[in-house]
Amino acid sequence: MAEGESKSMLYALKPICDRLPAITKPEGHVHFKTKMWWLVIILILYFILTNVMIYGLDQETTIDLFESYRAIMAGAQGSLMHLGIGPIVTGSIIMQLFVGAKIIKLDLSDSEDKAVYQGVQKFLVIVMIVVESVPQVYGYLMPSGALIDNVGNDWAKFIIVAQLCFGSYLVFLMDETVSKWGIGSGISLFIAAGVAQQIFTGTLNWMPADSTLPTSINNAPAGTFPKIIYYFTNVPAGSMTAGRFETLMITPPNPIIALFGTLAVFLFVAYVESCRIELPLAHESARGARGRYPIRLIYASNIPVILIAAVLANVGMFAMLFWSNDFFSTVPFLGQNPLVGMYADLGGGQPQLVGGAAWYVSTIGGLQDWLLPMFNSGYLPFAGTEHVKSVWQVAAHLIIYVSVMVIGSIMFAKFWIETTNMGAKSVAEQIQNSGMQIPGFRRDPRILEKVLERYIPVVAVLSGAIVGGLAAFADMLGTVGNSSGTGVLLAVGIMIQLYEAMGREQMMEMHPVLRGFFGGG
């Protein structure tokens, strides 16, 4: 803090934040092999926890509020990982928003302010864990009859809330472990692992789509490849009608077009990740010492898509609470308002989102959600019920969803680079402090900032538009494993970044002098 400036009010929370459980930061350099071992251990622990079901939860009546965002929330329904990374991402959004808008006055370049920021963010994550746990348990995660008989309804719900909080905080600690002792980010690792699992099972699952019935022509294997093989080995050539080909190409689960859409996203992301503008740099005093500052086309990485997906997931959750929860449904204007979000039981005992603003921003689930309804009224959403949608409503859903993804990603991209020292001014100061300058320009951070302003703001907008548009495009085509276009986009970008991070770690291992340059310990 500069002299004369008053400290932020968040310093009052510092005694509490300092006492929160945390992962100790390593004192010295952590060897590459050790980091890889921590990475593997945390990944195995994550998969184990996704299969540890919540004790006392009635799994049959459980409603998954985040079903369409399950891949990017890195969770598993009904397990200790039920909330996934949702509370962490939501807490980060709130802190970034308040600091970026100067509502909270903290200078993140100051070590003391940065420590307070990280401590308060950890405290806010705990608050968000409780905020997301309690409404779900008191609304849709119902305790089993046996647990209620043993301890009573109130204690049964408290036990489930406690398990959700414990599992969510474990996710936070695992993320810290990866960040401090491993490579990259734990949040990114969990997203990539969950999406990879869904893509693998969606492509190669040989079990029938309806596991309660035997495998047949009308109940073929769920995986794309097993389904193709089953059809061509069990259906005579003369019986391969247009309907059969439609089933293979378009009809869920895991049609061929979804596999092509997933591959297209993989290839396109791999290409754009390598696209960059490189500004030439020269050292002020060391002659011949030259370098380049890369400005990637995907400058803000995949963060904008994660943030907009987290916002939409929370919109869906609160829309359901305001519609059917005993308490929230009584809130003036929002409660039981069909303009906010309307739910109905269309069979199966699970309420479905059938209208309102929440439906228009909900995820597109492939060609059957928008293209097929344009040509065949039998594919219209909720066909055969009083909630059936018209072609114009389907078109509006498509346009609104794509617009929200693209515009929201652009806004979060600009917001993210300004609050994470990636803006033109911050980058100019970083280059200046490193002793580098652009050849042919006077060594002045203001001049350097003007040069960077030609590229960074434009690239930030393009970055947000590309990742948002690509995620929406993949959702429109559909993806194998129902991993969502956003999930596939994130997984590919994360794996490329993890590969590059491993390369840097190995380079620092072979050349220790580079640790300071890359920020290693």
Write down all domains in the chain, each with its CATH number in brackets. 16-182 (1.10.3370.10), 206-252 (no CATH), 254-491 (1.10.3370.10)
For residue 2, the model assigns a pLDDT of 46
H/E element holding 281? strand 276-283
User: Would you say residue 419 has pLDDT above 80?
Assistant: no
396: confidence class by pLDDT, cuts 50, 70, 90 = very high
User: Would you say residue 338 has pLDDT above 90?
Assistant: yes
Structure tokens at 417: 């680079």
389: confidence class by pLDDT, cuts 50, 70, 90 = very high
Answer yes or no: pTM beyond 0.75. yes
Task: Please report, for residues 31, 129, 166, 335, the alpha-carbon distance to residue 121 in angstroms, rounded to integers and kept in the order given.
Answer: 29, 12, 17, 30
Structure tokens at 243: 């309907």
Q: What angle do CA 300, 306, 309 make, to 5 degrees?
A: 135
For residue 487, the model assigns a pLDDT of 86
H/E element holding 311? helix 303-324
Phi, psi of 248 (to 5 degrees): -70, -40
Residue listed under structure tokens 């515009």: 407
Strand partners, 143: 57
* pLDDT (tens digit per residue) in 33-76: 999 999 999 999 999 999 999 999 988 777 776 676 777 788 88
Phi, psi of 364 (to 5 degrees): -75, 135
Q: What angle do CA 173, 164, 39 make, to 5 degrees?
A: 30
Instruction: Please report the DSSP string for 323-369 in residue order.
Output: HH-TTGGGSTTTTT-TTT-EEEE-SSS-EEEEESHHHHTSPP-SHHH
Per the model's pLDDT, the better-predicted residue between 284 and 74 turns out to be 74
Q: Compute the distance between CA of residue 81 and CA of residue 505 in angstroms, rounded to an integer.
A: 30
Q: Compute the distance between CA of residue 93 and CA of residue 384 in angstroms, rounded to an integer.
A: 41
- Which of 329, 388, 328 lies closest to 359, judged by CA? 388
Average pLDDT, integer, range 214-221: 88
- Which of 197, 87, 73 lies closest to 131, judged by CA? 87
For residue 4, the model assigns a pLDDT of 46
Let me know: does 402 contact 362? Beta carbons within 8 Å.
no
For residue 469, the model assigns a pLDDT of 93
Where residue 152 falls (left for φ over 0; alpha for ψ -120 to 50; beta otherwise) is left
210 CB neighbour count, 10 Å cutoff: 12
Average pLDDT, integer, range 21-33: 86
> Does the CA dihedral 375-379-380-384 come out positive or negative?
positive
User: Would you say residue 513 has pLDDT above 60?
Assistant: no
328: confidence class by pLDDT, cuts 50, 70, 90 = confident
> How many residues would you count in the chain?
521
Give me the percent of the chain exceeding a pLDDT of 70.
93
Average pLDDT, integer, range 216-239: 87
Q: Compute the distance between CA of residue 479 and CA of residue 254 in angstroms, rounded to an integer.
A: 7
User: Would you say residue 521 has pLDDT above 70?
Assistant: no
Q: Compute the distance between CA of residue 89 and CA of residue 128 in angstroms, rounded to an integer.
A: 10
Task: Please report, for residues 232, 324, 445, 448, 489, the alpha-carbon distance to residue 458 in angstroms, rounded to integers and kept in the order given.
Answer: 50, 44, 20, 16, 21
Average pLDDT, integer, range 315-340: 88
463: confidence class by pLDDT, cuts 50, 70, 90 = very high
Relative orientation angle of helices 485-510 and 303-324, to the nearest 10 degrees: 140
* pLDDT (tens digit per residue) in 149-158: 999 989 999 9
User: Would you say residue 380 has pLDDT above 70?
Assistant: yes
Q: How many CA atoms lie within 13 A of 106 on its CB side?
A: 25
Q: Compute the distance between CA of residue 292 and CA of residue 286 in angstroms, rounded to an integer.
A: 15
- For 78, the 3-state DSSP assignment is coil
Q: Compute the distance between CA of residue 356 and CA of residue 341 in angstroms, rounded to an integer.
A: 4
For residue 349, the model assigns a pLDDT of 66
Q: Compute the distance between CA of residue 511 and CA of residue 507 in angstroms, rounded to an integer.
A: 6
- What's the DSSP call for residue 109? T
pLDDT mean across residues, the chain: 85
Q: Which of 13-22, 175-184, 233-242 bottoms out in mean pLDDT, i.e. has the lowest?
A: 233-242
Structure tokens at 143: 């305790």
Structure tokens at 1: 């803090």
According to the per-residue pLDDT averaged within each range, which of 53-67, 276-290, 312-326 is highest? 312-326
User: Would you say residue 510 has pLDDT above 50?
Assistant: yes
182: confidence class by pLDDT, cuts 50, 70, 90 = very high
Residue listed under structure tokens 């979804």: 258
Average pLDDT, integer, range 261-281: 87
Relative orientation angle of helices 445-453 and 456-477, to the nearest 10 degrees: 30
Average pLDDT, integer, range 397-402: 96
Average pLDDT, integer, range 361-382: 89
User: Would you say residue 441 has pLDDT above 80?
Assistant: no
User: Would you say residue 173 has pLDDT above 60?
Assistant: yes
According to the per-residue pLDDT averaged within each range, which of 89-98, 215-224, 302-311, 417-426 is highest? 215-224
Average pLDDT, integer, range 273-300: 80
For residue 65, the model assigns a pLDDT of 66
For residue 438, the model assigns a pLDDT of 82
